[in-house]
Structure 1
Amino acid sequence: MGDIEQSVVPRSFRLGDLSHAGTYVVDDRGRIVEVNPQAERLLRRGAGELLGRDAHDLLHRGESGEPLPRSRCVMRQPLLTNDSAHGQDVWLQRGDGSLVEIAWVVTPCRIGDGGSGALVLFHEIGSAGLGERQRAHPAPEMSQLDRLALLAETTTTLTASLDVDETLRQLVRLVVPLLADWAVVDLLTEEGEVTRAAVVHHEDGVLAHRADLERPMPPLPRESTMPLARALRGVTATLVSPADYDRPLESRLAAVQRDLFKATGIWSACTAPIRGVRDVVGAMTLGRSEQSRPYTTDDLLLVEDIARRAGLALDNARLYERQRRVAETMQRHLLPRLPSVPGLEMGACYVPAPHASQVGGDWYDAFVLSDGATGLVIGDVVGHDLDAASGMAQVCNMLRAYAGELEEPPSVIVDRLDQAVARMSETTMATVVFARAERMDGSWQLRWTNAGHPPPLLVDGDGRTRYLEDAGGLLLGTGFAPVREDAVVELPPRSTVLLYTDGLIESPSHSLDEGLDRLRRQAAALTRHPLSVYCDRLLTRVRPADNDDDVALLTLRVPG
């Protein structure tokens, strides 16, 4: 196997060349990215059913057709350890529900331009209809080792994200179809209302949402003894069946749950509270409509433990989202209304980070100074949390105060600001550009200094562009005392100046130079548009799709 360990999938290679073995390639997340025709025939699934899917969730089964815990999947180990391995007695589920027993080889490989993954080759040993094997070998209960492995995977997976929706997706993936045919999650809002956040069914090898059942729920009755109401009040987990609802119901919440059982065909279920650190977050109901074994007390204990871990993860995600909303609200309230300055046009916009995991300290500011010049500021406090937003507020206010008090060049004011930042109780570092737009003998000029920030971009009326890279210096808060400089440039009629934060140009998938070039090209192409639409169109064209940072943008234009 030593020679195979260096396998590479070159651009010219096609899996169709391996006509005698079923073959597919998975990426480093286990998703199928290439498949050959023989694999399609053996698995009785077209490429469209395979590509982009998680190979383990879609294909790997126990010998009775039961879902296989990832901890017991021998074909996953080489992917995790980046080793080669081979074996047999592995069962894959075909598209028609039957099982195929295979002998297999897995070896690491490179995909395309440096990506990593694994090459899987297999051939058939034996096969049987799924129903036939289930009759001969009823699906066994999970062993204690499998239960512990599932709980460990639950903790690791659910704590990897601080996004509520992503946590719910991962929770459902962990329990369906391993423990249930159906997973239903009801969440309590901060106002105490109930919303049915997820109703997911395992169908034809995929997890399908029942959007028609995901909706706001009736009020939670405080005295109800029905299972869902009890779980939402934090009472212990309960085994449930449709028979529990075959009697007069005292609340609309219970009636909705009865309708759920009818719509899904669930005949055995368990409902457990999802508890956070302080309060109940919601409830989880797992149901079986196709599996033949009813839930037992042991299953109930496992589900209750999973729900408890989910509650801690959801509680943390909600806390982070609340913190993010506070920070974002603080930022928006601090961002100013642009002043009206005769002979100048100004525009600005702020866009928060697209994901709850990021809250930045980006800001812009514009104000008229005591000598009649217009002050322009763009800045970014280092960090992505509430502290960054709080630091931004302090730095923004101090800069305004110094600029309004002192009729000094930008370098002097930023130097004074740097000294003040160094004295702040909480360590704060920030980048900033402070500029003055000054009218001199009927024309406009820009005087600025730059403390570690991306350089402003000047776009002439004819589309010529250049970055204003002079007067650069260290960012604020380093503790050093750098000598700061000023630079001056004339602003001809119809010229536009762009001040922006790094979220507009930085991307994990592209270099900074590529981002700067993209901004330069698009800023020039859009220069004839009025400022009322300029910022929005520039953001749409320039901001990277994989950007995970907020963006502040301030534009200044001298009319023609």
Structure 2
Amino acid sequence: MAVAGSAWVPGEPGAPSAVLARRLDAIGTGAYVVDPQGRIIAVNALAERLLDRSAAALLGRDAHDLLHRDSGGRHMPRAQCRMRQAFHAGRPAQAETDYFARGDGSLLPISWLIAPYEAGADETATLVLFHAVDRPVKTGTRADPSAQPLTELERLALLAEATTRLTSTLDAEETLRRLVTLVVPRLAEWAVIDLITERDEVWRAVVVHGEGETLVHHDDLQGPMPPLPEDSPMPLSRALRGVASAVAAPETYQREPDSGIALEQRRLFEATGMHSAAIAPIRSAREVLGALTLGRAGQSQAFTPADLPLIEDIARRAGIALDNARLYQRQRKVAETMQNHLLPQMPRVPGLEMTVRYLPAPNASQVGGDWYDAFRLSDDATALAIGDVVGHDLEAAAGMAQVRNMLRAYAWSQQEPPSRIVERLDEAIMHITDVTMATVILSRVEETADGHWQLSWTNAGHPPPLLISHDGLARYLTDGHGILLGTGLGRRRPDATVLLPPGSTLVLYTDGLIEEPGHTLDEGLDRLRRHAAALAHRPLASFTDQLLRRVRPADNDDDVALLTLRTPARPSTGQAAPTTRP
């Protein structure tokens, strides 16, 4: 979720401010979020009531200028504002008395706490929690969070940060990293995470020690764990079964171990020097996923049962995030398997080289509507096709498979030009598929009597093929262009024909290769043409890989299909080089 630096209309449904406001509403105190410039980007309903200001009156405004006042109701100089100083320092801070200006002009005595957090990739924001106080009290800050119990405001801030950070990623490894940075060193010097794998094996996934501001990973203490005992009363075993949380000490595991896990826990205490640990289950709504162990060492106070509810709440949020990440990874795996089965084997055509690549959309489910195909026809010509069915999900992939298979059937059975075959396809998909819109290029490649190669094609709304000569002259084949599939207009489609020069390279691609936010399509086409010309001398596999690496936009959120073909350097009917697949 983008927070800082994003552009949106405040209060717009579905905008980041609205999404974040809904999360803030779960906090039992006034709350708002500011971006790195100090502008309010989200506010909850309780803050609106306390400040007597609507969200529309708050969003986009500088929080200091709008709200911060001294005890006399005057605007507070920025250099004297404690909250502003902590904000610029990027550190958590709190004060038990200050004043905000309400919408009706009155002063609101408040107690506040602020905490910076990561709002997304390379983005930061600051959470501000506050509530009204009846009388001024002494200010204070906490130097060592583990040295004394957290205040209720600090607990709320930590849980709010946990909710925001843990639920904003679908990567399991990133979820674990964020979980560790939430609790170390804020709650403990050590964090240990044991996970139950999908094969019901226990794996010690994380052992981290906080040394000042640095997190040190102890790989030697991580790895496979003994089987989970069914009835052990020991704290970690109970937590991994989802029975209960517990406080433990080295003495807990000094007795005769009742299982291999108990023995590993004894070794953990000895290796880390922890004198106190709090252990809580990591569970989702469906199952127990593991256990979180927080350990204190040195002069830190020991955990007590009163600390467990907070740690349980954090572990519960981590369980939800991990479960979502696992479900997402399973979906990606299913989708990836499906895509691998959908991608066709390329034919071996004597005299021609062919290479294909497919890159899924980075933020989709590993499949989409982009596709390529190549197959021999009944008259010994070779059909090349590339297309794009609207969408980036399993439904789009299923539609793509329907379109591709229908095109294969028509091209094989009908001895007709590409234009007529695509006309039949267009008519058919309107009636027997759920595909609403698609583009396609269908072409025939065949050897002429004098040993040259000829390309005939029709283009249904797809980006034009690119032809590069052996000497690096590149041009787009813009002839044969017609409307995309699925319009229902039933227009006749044109054909075009060109002789492929010896040693030339033909590039068929989908729009994910050339489209880039903030840039025109012509700019993308020009980028592809220039890089393809510069790479024309490379072997075809290297040409294709380098073209993808150089041309595909870094912030591309679309899948890419790419098919390249190269003719012999001189007219010939020799054996073709092997075809490579992704």
Match of 1:536 among 537, 540, 545: 545
| Secondary structure of 1:423's aligned partner | helix
Equivalent position of 1:324 in the other structure: 332
Deviations 1:23-65 (A, max 9, x none): xxxx9379xxxxxxxxxxxxxxxxxxxxxxxxxxxxxxxxxxx
Q: Is the 8 A contact 1:447 1:486 kept in 2?
A: yes
Task: Give the whole-Å Cα distance in 1 for the aligned partners of 2:243 and 2:194.
Answer: 15
Match of 2:168 among 160, 172, 177: 160
| Secondary structure of 1:455's aligned partner | coil
Match of 2:563 among 548, 554, 559: 554
Deviation at 1:463, TM superposition (A): 0.4
Matches within 5 A, 1:456-467: 456-467=465-476
Amino acid at match of 2:515: E
Alignment identity in percent? 59
- Residue 64 of structure 2 is aligned to residue 88 of structure 1: no
Amino acid at match of 1:239: V
Task: Give the whole-Å Cα distance in 1 for the aligned partners of 2:436 and 2:217.
Answer: 45
Equivalent position of 1:66 in the other structure: none
Q: Is the 8 A contact 2:32 2:40 kept in 1?
A: no
Equivalent position of 2:401 in the other structure: 393
Deviation at 1:497, TM superposition (A): 0.5
Match of 1:261 among 258, 269, 277: 269
Cα distance change on mapping 1:251 and 1:515 into 2, 3 Å? farther
Deviations 1:256-278 (A, max 9, x none): 33333333333222222222232
| Secondary structure of 1:371's aligned partner | coil
Q: Is the 8 A contact 1:162 1:357 kept in 2?
A: no
Match of 2:227 among 216, 219, 222: 219
Q: Is the 8 A contact 1:180 1:288 kept in 2?
A: yes
Deviation at 1:368, TM superposition (A): 0.6
Task: Give the whole-Å Cα distance in 1 for the aligned partners of 2:549 and 2:503.
Answer: 23
- Residue 461 of structure 2 is aligned to residue 452 of structure 1: yes
Task: Give the whole-Å Cα distance in 2 for the aligned partners of 1:185 and 1:478.
Answer: 55
Equivalent position of 2:485 in the other structure: 476
Deviates more, 1:428-437 or 1:489-498: 428-437
Deviation at 1:375, TM superposition (A): 0.7
Deviation at 1:376, TM superposition (A): 0.7
Matches within 5 A, 1:31-50: none
What runs of 5+ residues in structure 2 fail to find an aligned partner?
7-28, 42-58, 65-77, 99-121, 126-140, 570-582
- Residue 492 of structure 2 is aligned to residue 499 of structure 1: no
Cα distance change on mapping 1:199 and 1:339 into 2, 3 Å? same
User: In angstroms, what is the RMSD of aligned CA positions?
Assistant: 3.9
| Secondary structure of 1:412's aligned partner | helix
Amino acid at match of 1:386: L
Cα distance change on mapping 1:224 and 1:326 into 2, 3 Å? same
Deviates more, 1:314-323 or 1:481-490: 481-490
Amino acid at match of 1:28: A
- Residue 383 of structure 2 is aligned to residue 375 of structure 1: yes
Cα distance change on mapping 1:531 and 1:427 into 2, 3 Å? closer
Cα distance change on mapping 1:417 and 1:241 into 2, 3 Å? farther
Deviation at 1:367, TM superposition (A): 0.2
- Residue 310 of structure 2 is aligned to residue 302 of structure 1: yes
Q: Is the 8 A contact 1:187 1:195 kept in 2?
A: yes
Task: Give the whole-Å Cα distance in 2 for the aligned partners of 1:291 and 1:424.
Answer: 73
Equivalent position of 1:14 in the other structure: none
Q: Is the 8 A contact 2:505 2:566 kept in 1?
A: yes
TM-score w.r.t. structure 2 length?
0.71
- Residue 364 of structure 2 is aligned to residue 360 of structure 1: no
Amino acid at match of 2:530: R
Amino acid at match of 1:312: I
Task: Give the whole-Å Cα distance in 1 for the aligned partners of 2:488 and 2:242.
Answer: 52
Equivalent position of 1:519 in the other structure: 528
Cα distance change on mapping 1:389 and 1:93 into 2, 3 Å? closer
Length, aligned pairs only: 471
Deviation at 1:290, TM superposition (A): 5.3
Equivalent position of 2:296 in the other structure: 288
| Secondary structure of 2:532's aligned partner | helix
Amino acid at match of 2:224: P
Equivalent position of 1:142 in the other structure: 151
| Secondary structure of 2:502's aligned partner | coil
Task: Give the whole-Å Cα distance in 2 for the aligned partners of 1:354 and 1:73.
Answer: 29
Cα distance change on mapping 1:255 and 1:430 into 2, 3 Å? farther
Deviation at 1:432, TM superposition (A): 2.3
Task: Give the whole-Å Cα distance in 1 for the aligned partners of 2:358 and 2:86.
Answer: 50
Equivalent position of 1:402 in the other structure: 410
Deviations 1:288-315 (A, max 9, x none): 2357333333431122222222222221
Matches within 5 A, 1:90-129: none
Deviation at 1:493, TM superposition (A): 0.9
Cα distance change on mapping 1:501 and 1:181 into 2, 3 Å? farther
Deviation at 1:553, TM superposition (A): 1.6
Cα distance change on mapping 1:536 and 1:284 into 2, 3 Å? same
Equivalent position of 1:435 in the other structure: 443
Q: Is the 8 A contact 1:452 1:473 kept in 2?
A: yes
- Residue 482 of structure 2 is aligned to residue 489 of structure 1: no
Deviation at 1:491, TM superposition (A): 0.9
Task: Give the whole-Å Cα distance in 2 for the aligned partners of 1:441 and 1:138.
Answer: 88
Cα distance change on mapping 1:465 and 1:301 into 2, 3 Å? same
Match of 1:241 among 246, 249, 254: 249
| Secondary structure of 2:385's aligned partner | strand
| Secondary structure of 1:339's aligned partner | coil
Matches within 5 A, 1:148-187: 148-187=156-195
Cα distance change on mapping 1:458 and 1:304 into 2, 3 Å? same
| Secondary structure of 2:292's aligned partner | strand
Cα distance change on mapping 1:204 and 1:377 into 2, 3 Å? same
Q: Is the 8 A contact 1:71 1:146 kept in 2?
A: no
Task: Give the whole-Å Cα distance in 2 for the aligned partners of 1:421 and 1:291.
Answer: 72
Cα distance change on mapping 1:328 and 1:252 into 2, 3 Å? same
| Secondary structure of 2:168's aligned partner | coil
- Residue 4 of structure 2 is aligned to residue 28 of structure 1: yes
Match of 2:211 among 203, 210, 218: 203
Equivalent position of 2:425 in the other structure: 417
Q: Is the 8 A contact 1:324 1:385 kept in 2?
A: no
Equivalent position of 1:62 in the other structure: none
Deviations 1:94-153 (A, max 9, x none): 99x9x999x9xxxxxxxxxxx9999xxxxxxxxxxx99x769x9644231x443443343
Task: Give the whole-Å Cα distance in 1 for the aligned partners of 2:250 and 2:31.
Answer: 33
Deviation at 1:496, TM superposition (A): 0.8
| Secondary structure of 2:370's aligned partner | strand
What runs of 5+ residues in structure 1 fail to find an aligned partner?
1-26, 31-68, 104-114, 119-129
Task: Give the whole-Å Cα distance in 1 for the aligned partners of 2:148 and 2:33.
Answer: 17
Deviation at 1:559, TM superposition (A): 0.5
Task: Give the whole-Å Cα distance in 2 for the aligned partners of 1:359 and 1:400.
Answer: 21
